[in-house]
Structure 1
């Protein structure tokens, strides 16, 4: 897909703030500072479409990015940041769960995982939920440029084993620095949207 237009359509913490137009949505989930914003920027070839921060836990809203007026990429707040208060974590968990459970527009959920670190319990629980929800099971292995080719292969094997990814082709290694994995991610997105009744495959 060629991105001709991409914009931040909405930032919301409650259902009343979600965009109303019934466009299909692909959500990005993962730990704080895993690189969701960088992934969205790389997909759209925009440097500042999605805000990136060196401070984990800063994103406190669900951010909806409208792509070509055809679908949305949705950036959910990162989970697992210890310095956030229990009250804030509980609040975030609620509006994230509300979105994942109740959003009719949702057609897929990508889990982003840092290739340098073994998945934790929250990653595994989230991935189990994704598979149980009959989504594609796509995992974006971020920060691939931080590893040598040999270590990257080892890290991919650990990720596949730990998450119990049913097919290794579901893991897409990604680097915002090198741009690797972008084409593969778009191929997956085009396939997902092509199966959605809300998008005409001719428009992809």
Structure 2
């Protein structure tokens, strides 16, 4: 995917203010100060489109960025900021619930994690929560430039293992490493319904995992429907076959009727002959 146009579209604080659901959405989730805004700026090639801050927990709104006039990248409030007040945490939780429960055109979710640290309990809970809702998930491991070459593979294995994932993308906003891989994964998402780039390369199509807008479950549902229709057709055809089977049984009765008629005719002829003989006598 090549991003040729990107604009800040809307900043909302409640479900009532969400933009009309005309375009699909790719949501970005992650802990506070994990680098969501930097990721957006790197993807679109603009430094200040998404405002960055060194202060964790500053983003308390849902920010929509229109990409190529085709879909929205949505920056959701960061979770897990320990110094946030109870009211703020409840507000963020409500916004997240309203967004994922009320916005129908969520195409996929990019979960952003700090590659320097193992996934927190909240990270794992968020990952499982998204997977249970059936969204295609892509793990992006940020700030990898802060790791040594020896640490990179080790931390990647640990992060993905803890999340139960088999693939993820290492990313650095400074070196832009991982940018093209993420764009390629987005391209695959809109073509195949999931982030798995190997599907596009091998031509396998969508994974039968039931994630995203559920194309596999729909396909399975259509298959079950087709099976029901075929079953109904076969059941509906049975009466026809039964009636066809009963038709031959009617022929013997006609055959039996014919011999009886011939016998009666012969008897009548014999009776007439006898009557004529007696009359002549």
- TM-score above 0.5, yes or no: yes
The question of 1:125 aligning with 2:119 is answered no
Q: CA deviation at 1:21?
A: 4.6
Structure 2: which 5+ residue stretches go unaligned? 194-281
The question of 1:188 aligning with 2:185 is answered yes
Q: CA deviation at 1:17?
A: 1.4
- Which residue of structure 2 aligns with residue 57 of structure 1? 57
1:144-183 correspondence runs (5 A): 144-165=144-165, 167-168=166-167, 171-183=168-180
Partners of 2:23 and 2:134 in 1: CA distance: 19
Deviations 1:17-49 (A, max 9, x none): 111151010000000000000001110001001
How many residues are aligned here? 193
Conserved in 2, the CA contact under 8 Å of 1:107 and 1:135? yes
Partners of 1:63 and 1:175 in 2: CA distance: 22
- Which residue of structure 2 aligns with residue 40 of structure 1? 40
Partners of 2:160 and 2:21 in 1: CA distance: 36
- Which residue of structure 2 aligns with residue 134 of structure 1? 134
Partners of 2:191 and 2:13 in 1: CA distance: 29
Q: CA deviation at 1:146?
A: 0.4
Q: Aligned Cα RMSD in Å?
A: 1.1
- Which residue of structure 2 aligns with residue 200 of structure 1? none
Partners of 2:149 and 2:102 in 1: CA distance: 41
Deviations 1:28-77 (A, max 9, x none): 00000000000011100010010100000000100000011100100000
1:45-124 correspondence runs (5 A): 45-124=45-124
Structure 1: which 5+ residue stretches go unaligned? 197-204
Partners of 2:135 and 2:20 in 1: CA distance: 22
Which of structures 1 and 2 has the larger relative contact order (alpha carbons within 8 angstroms, sep 6+)?
1
Conserved in 2, the CA contact under 8 Å of 1:30 and 1:78? yes
- Which residue of structure 2 aligns with residue 7 of structure 1? 7
Partners of 2:11 and 2:191 in 1: CA distance: 26
Conserved in 2, the CA contact under 8 Å of 1:10 and 1:17? no
Conserved in 2, the CA contact under 8 Å of 1:24 and 1:193? no
Conserved in 2, the CA contact under 8 Å of 1:140 and 1:172? yes
Conserved in 2, the CA contact under 8 Å of 1:25 and 1:107? yes
Structure having the higher Rg: 2
TM-score normalised by the chain length of structure 1: 0.91
Partners of 2:138 and 2:181 in 1: CA distance: 11
